[in-house]
Amino acid sequence: MRRLFLRIAAAVLATACLPAAASAASFYDPPEPLPNTTPGTLLRAEPMEFQGATKPPAGTVGYRILYVSRTALGEPVAVSGSLVLPNATAQPRTLIGIAPGTHGMGDACAPSRVLAYGAEQELDKINRFLADGYAVVMTDYEGLGTPGVHPYGVNVAAGRDLLDALRAARQVAGTGLETDGKLGVFGYSQGGGAVGSAIEQQPSYAPELKITAAVVGGVLGEPARIPNALFGNFWAGVALMAVIGYDSAYDLGLKSTLTQFGRNALSSTAKWCVVNASIPLQYAQMAWFTKGGKNPVATAPWRARMDQNTLGYGKPNVPIYQYHGEWDQTLNYNSAKRVRARWCAGGADVRFVTVRFAEHFIADAAGFGPAANWLQAKLSGRGTPSGNCPAA
């Protein structure tokens, strides 16, 4: 089985890599040197034209944005994203930040790129909020669209990317966005991890942001459990993305542990979108890529960095709506409940909703409507169901 896998995967790895999308006037290339300025500083913005059959409603106005954020280690980094408004009229609008779910690792997969070309998986969420008069900013995350490797699964970095996107969006000229008003944040899967980390970091990292409420869906809350959960099944390619992401963020010496096949596999995976990474690498084991079949991810340095990105140990100051499919096959339901338990133990206001009989993707679709209703009720000051943390 392993030998057949290696032969097939080697052929696919050599031929299936998506080409990078052409950069519009080098928009995604940050200035050199990158200014060591305040996180959230807008570097540039340009209008976005929506193409393809699936796109926001007629009259929607979009911008690509490039802004300064901070890596997991606190270094300045340029991050791209998109800002979408219901229409061209400049007026005060409440801003909702979307942390997108897993897109992949290649620049061609960046949400702002695929949104422009009509292939954005978060479009239903964007359109729902636009229809109700909200402005939406969506981060691409570090290394997606912009130079460098995307630190996939590193919640600390993703949370900062989201917070700084909210800051940068308010600096785009002519939008009329509220500069000191309420904010909402919404994320599912990888995006759930980003939102969870963002609201944990907000009191110290971005205290001026008035985040009113947060939706955390299908959460990537315990990154250290991902390798064991996903290697050996259909989503092994996603586990490999997380391995690449953590090595990129923390320089954990991964390359020295890999065979030549492993180097080729990881090099290609770092350029792929999620479907391309999943199909040729399904059912792979980490040991198949390493010298002597060793698993570096199981070592103490890796575990320590993944533990730093585990959610629930910071105390968010905002109400949280957390939803999760009870049959989630990629991000374990019990893991989500442990995140909720830690938040509740720390005094957070959490409403946990189980999406019955739903795996990861069905739970996203089925759980979105009620979650969006709750978020918009919070932003408008209407009554919402109270948190349901267990009694102490």
Q: Taking residues 102-124, what's their average pLDDT?
A: 95
pLDDT at 53: 80
* Average per-residue pLDDT for the chain: 92
Predicted pLDDT at 18 = 37
* Tens-place pLDDT, residues 177-211: 988 999 999 999 999 999 999 999 999 999 999 99
- pLDDT given for residue 52 in this prediction: 81
| Phi then psi dihedrals of residue 215, to 5 deg | -110, 125
Please give the full DSSP string across 181-227, using - where no structure is assigned.
S-EEEEEETHHHHHHHHHHHHHHHH-TT--EEEEEEES----GGGHH
What is the structure's pLDDT at 24?
54
pLDDT confidence bin for 84, thresholds 50/70/90? very high
Mean pLDDT value of segment 105-126: 95
Does 348 score more than 50 pLDDT?
Answer: yes
Domains of the chain: 2-18+223-306 (1.10.260.130), 24-222+312-380 (3.40.50.1820)
Q: Is 149 helix (H, G, I), strand (E, B) or coil?
A: coil
Predicted pLDDT of residue 17: 37
Q: Which of 49-63, 104-118, 378-392 has the highest mean pLDDT?
A: 104-118
Task: Report percent pLDDT > 90 for the chain.
Answer: 84
Res. 332: pLDDT tops 80: yes
- Look at residue 350 and tell me whether its pLDDT is greater than 50: yes
Q: Which residues are within 8 A (CB) of 209 and not within 5 positions of it... i.e. 6 or more apart?
A: 163, 166, 167, 183, 202
Mean pLDDT of the 76-83 span: 98
Residue 152 has pLDDT above 70, yes or no: yes
Q: Which pTM does this prediction carry?
A: 0.93
Q: What share of the chain is helix, strand, coil (3-state, %, to 5)?
A: 40, 15, 40
- State the sign of the Cα–Cα–Cα–Cα dihedral 382, 384, 389, 391: positive
Edge-first strand order for the sheet with 183-188 is 42-48, 61-70, 76-85, 135-139, 95-99, 183-188, 211-217, 320-325, 350-355
Peptide bond before residue 33 is cis, with ω within 30 degrees of 0: yes
Q: 1: pLDDT confidence band, cut at 50, 70 and 90?
A: very low
When pLDDT is averaged across residues 360-368 and rounded to a whole number, the result is 98
| Mean pLDDT of all residues in 124-149 | 97
pLDDT higher than 80, residue 392? no
Structure confidence at residue 343 (pLDDT): 98
Write down the pLDDT at residue 92. Answer: 87
On the question of pLDDT at 85 being above 90, the answer is yes
Placement of tokens 């980094």 in the chain: 77
Per-residue pLDDT at 360: 98
pLDDT at residue 357 is higher than 90:
yes
What is the crossing angle of helices 274-281 and 236-250, to 10°? Answer: 120
Cα–Cα distances in angstroms (integers) from residue 283 to residues 37, 131, 288, in the given order: 44, 41, 11
Within the chain, where are the H helices? 2-15, 111-116, 123-131, 155-169, 190-205, 226-230, 236-250, 260-269, 274-281, 300-307, 333-345, 360-380
When pLDDT is cut at 50, 70 and 90, the band that residue 8 belongs to is: very low
Q: Read off φ and ψ for residue 183, nearest 5 degrees.
A: -135, 145
Hey, what are 94's tokens? 């409440």
pLDDT the model gives residue 22 = 42
Choice between 256 and 278, residue whose per-residue pLDDT is larger? 256
Average pLDDT over residues 310-337: 97
Closest to 226 in 3D by CA, of 315, 312, 305:
305
Compare 66 and 382 and report the one with higher pLDDT. Answer: 66
Mean per-residue pLDDT, 294-305: 95
Please determine, for residue 277, whether its predicted confidence score (pLDDT) is greater than 50. Answer: yes
pLDDT band of 3, cuts 50, 70, 90: very low
Q: Kindly give the pairing relationship between strand 350-355 and strand 211-217.
A: unpaired
If 0-12 CB within 10 Å is exposed, 13-18 middle and 19+ buried, where does residue 182 land? middle
Band (278; pLDDT cuts 50, 70, 90): confident
pLDDT, tens digit, for every residue of 15-47? 333 334 444 549 999 999 998 899 999 999 999
> To 5 degrees, how large is the angle CA 141–CA 146–CA 149?
75
Number of CB atoms found within 10 A of residue 84's CB:
25
3-state SS assignment for residue 12: helix
